[in-house]
Amino acid sequence: MKIKPVKNSRLAEVDYTNLGFGDYFSDHMVTCEFSDGAWGEPSIVPFSSIELSPAALALHYGQTVFEGLKAFRGTVDHKVRLFRVDRNAARITVSCTRLCIPAPDESLVIESIKQLVMLDQDWAPSRRGEALYVRPVLIATEPHLAVRPASQYRLLIFTSPVCEYFAQAKSPLYLKAEERYTRAPHGGTGYAKTASNYSVTLRPMNDSVEDGFDQILWLDGQEHRYVEEAGQMNMFFRLGDSVVTPDLSGTILPGVTRESVLTLLADMGVTATERRLSMDELFQAQNEGELYEAFGAGTASVVVPIGRIRYQDDDLCFPEDQPGNLCPKLYDMILGIQHGELEDRHSWMIALE
């Protein structure tokens, strides 16, 4: 892979005592172009603005997909490790297929990410829970106004040192179950990681924050009764002795952290079920004393506890710090694996030498 290194690093500009999420961008980025029916060779160049025609199809018709994953610095050996990069590369393929974008070979994506992170590994934070966030994005660059798939695309990959997404949260999150707006209907793009899935969430999320909530709990698009996602997280509920998470019905993003949580629950001997889950069932469980815990899981947030959920002028309430709560255990297990503190039994990590 061709590499054009920066002459002067911007690393000294980063305030690692106050990182934020997505405030800084590392020195380099990967760029790779698709034209004449094939992807070219990727290269690594200094991070910079890109030139794009005002008529680029991505700007008009949203033909773009992206991903988000993290690299972590070991707390003991200080090695930098990528977490489940193969699953994110596979999801790029799924998203591209839905958006009529010719997917780059997954091995090309994985190798590009590895080379980029190795080059900029000094940017990876050292504090537990912080990470070097990796953002691949594919855009349709062909200038045209017809509503059709483009013939030219560009893959960009860049990185950003970040703190935990909810690092400023002082208590478990308070969610508003959204009944007016819909994130993704059946037959739509809910399972793909594309820009339009996020732009439609901005109005209701902004409204909910102004009303005193931390995040939106998305319900199904047809009846607004069944749980789907919370903001950019997959949802889990502990009902009695088991855990329930909404099944992947095509409207929910198949989260990599979600998949990891299900695997770890199985390791712990906890029964976990993927199925439809209505708000009515949750309120009934609360009335029967069987509703113990709720938490969200995602790449940015890892695993975070939910304190309350407002639905139709009533609240579901989840007691804090109950004995047997799974959220703190899962959080420590995932971070322990990511930072090289615990055995990587499922070979999720790739150490970059």
Four-way CATH pick for 2-163: 3.30.9.10, 3.90.550.10, 3.30.200.20, 3.30.470.10: 3.30.470.10
HEC letters along 151-203: CCEEEEEEEEEECCCCCCCCCCEEEEEECCCCCCCCCCCCCCCEHHHHHCCHH
| pLDDT band of 169, cuts 50, 70, 90 | low
Would you place residue 319 in the very low, low, confident or very high pLDDT band (cuts 50, 70, 90)? confident
CA distance 179 to 144: 38
Cα separation, 201 vs 194, whole angstroms: 12
CATH topology classification for 173-337? D-amino Acid Aminotransferase; Chain A, domain 2 (3.20.10)
Predicted confidence (pLDDT) per residue in 78-87, tens digit:
999 999 999 9
Name the residue ranges covered by the structural domains of the chain.
Answer: 2-163, 173-337
- Tell me what the pLDDT averaged over the chain comes to: 96
Do 173-337 and 2-163 have the same topology in CATH?
no
Q: What percent of the chain has pLDDT above 70?
A: 99
Q: Is the pTM of this model over 0.85?
A: yes
More confident call, 166 vs 260:
260
Residue 2 has pLDDT above 80, yes or no: yes
pLDDT of 162 strictly over 70:
yes
Quick one: which of 9, 125, 112 has its CA closest to 67? 112
